[in-house]
Structure 1
């Protein structure tokens, strides 16, 4: 009985130590989440302005054919996949990989992974990687987004692949994060019928096509940066939720273990009293 009580006590101490770690990780994720949400809110207007500009150029012109809008037979797809640098974030990473796997089923594709977990996952599965230079998503900046954009745009124009898709986790709320696969190239903008172009007061120099082609890499960089901000906020939100759940589970486990310990202690005391009474009766 004494041995059993000792094991329960050691188990309680072990769970308490784990609970301290999960609580600390929850507090760290909560403190970082506020700043990450601010980055998401600040990045959205930039992306929306670029998209609106591209949309207006495409809607007002029928006389140009941009190489970034041209549809061609999709023989190969490039996925830019943003995942986390660490685990312990619930289903954050696995949900992203499942979404990409479902979209890429039956396709010939390559991947540009962003985040350590993304690099490890696709290397383990033997997937063709465009590059693994952007392995730490937490260290990436706006300039890295432009590097990624230039790399994939150059490859796209060279015919290395026929479409580009972006896999990231959209931050909806503290409790909800949605794995999303978004097509970014070719640009899926509106093309008006000839004779039904929208009138515009904007004059583009040297031409609407040149401006459109110049903005596309900027647009893609903005989308990638915005997706990274969304993904970082989603990872922190998922980690906070997972660590909060783990802390609650640890608390419940400690309560149960304390109950078992008290029962074992009470049984040991009862047995000792019984032995004393039996000895006194002899």
Structure 2
């Protein structure tokens, strides 16, 4: 900063003040969106928790229970459903979850990206992308989640895919968001079987048929829950990043003001010295 005129320093102060206004506004917007995303995440948890418990209850009701969704390793590729954001300025949010997915993926894996950053990341690495229909993560609705769930469930049943993995960011707190990889298919259920006749149930159409009908609904619920968790994580990460940027801007402005005052005082001192020297002559 040495050698800059007071005018140049003042221009930089104004520029930094404008930047701080932007980062502060983005922080407030992220805080507002975060509250909404948290509410959605909490509201949807009981739904797919109940579905999961129902699936276990159905599977436990019969010793001879079988389902194609429980099929273990077989032919087909692994498909990764990866959720990231549409924009940057969110700290390490996008980078962390995308690197986790890429690190775990086998070479021939298929990707179903959700979010603009996800599409760009895997396009750049020439990975096989199933569809770019969900490029805008902010526009993905609960209906879209059930459509995705049905798409991958059908692919698993016809043995196009042998494994389905969901990669998203788990919202822990405002200060902590952790990327996670969750295997969706094949399903794993408890090994315990109900033998108590009083708890036995008869399912219309058979327990296997009811179980197979519930699975896509369960997968859609898990996917929507992961989307809400990821959205909350993104907004929390952006809020923290913008808060840090605002604090850095305040520090820079303070240093610039100090530099400006020093330069101004130096100029005044120089003028007084010149006036005194001229009067003596």
The normalised TM-score by structure 2 is 0.94
1:44 aligns with 2:45: yes
Q: Which residue of 1 aligns with 2:207?
A: 208
Contact 1:146 1:218 in 2 (8 A): yes
Write the mapping of 1:1-282 to structure 2, written as runs, cut at 5 A: 4-73=5-74, 76-104=77-105, 106-192=106-192, 197-199=194-196, 200-282=199-281
Q: C-alpha deviations, 1:119-159, integer Å up to 9, x for none?
A: 11111111101111111111121111111011111111122
**How far 1:271 moved relative to its partner?**
1.3
Q: Distance in 2 between matches of 1:130 and 1:243?
A: 34
Q: Distance in 1 between matches of 2:179 and 2:195?
A: 35
Contact 2:97 2:179 in 1 (8 A): yes
Contact 2:75 2:159 in 1 (8 A): no
Q: 1:74 to 1:9 in 2, by over 3 A?
A: farther
Q: Distance in 1 between matches of 2:128 and 2:242?
A: 34
Q: Distance in 2 between matches of 1:274 and 1:145?
A: 75
Q: Distance in 2 between matches of 1:231 and 1:123?
A: 21
Q: Distance in 2 between matches of 1:151 and 1:208?
A: 23
DSSP-derived class of the 1:162 partner = strand
Q: C-alpha deviations, 1:144-177, integer Å up to 9, x for none?
A: 1111011111111122221000011111112211
Q: C-alpha deviations, 1:218-257, integer Å up to 9, x for none?
A: 1100111111111111111111111111111101110011
**How far 1:76 moved relative to its partner?**
2.3
Is there any run of 5+ residues in structure 2 with no aligned partner, and where? Answer: none
The normalised TM-score by structure 1 is 0.94
Q: Distance in 2 between matches of 1:237 and 1:175?
A: 7
**How far 1:74 moved relative to its partner?**
6.8
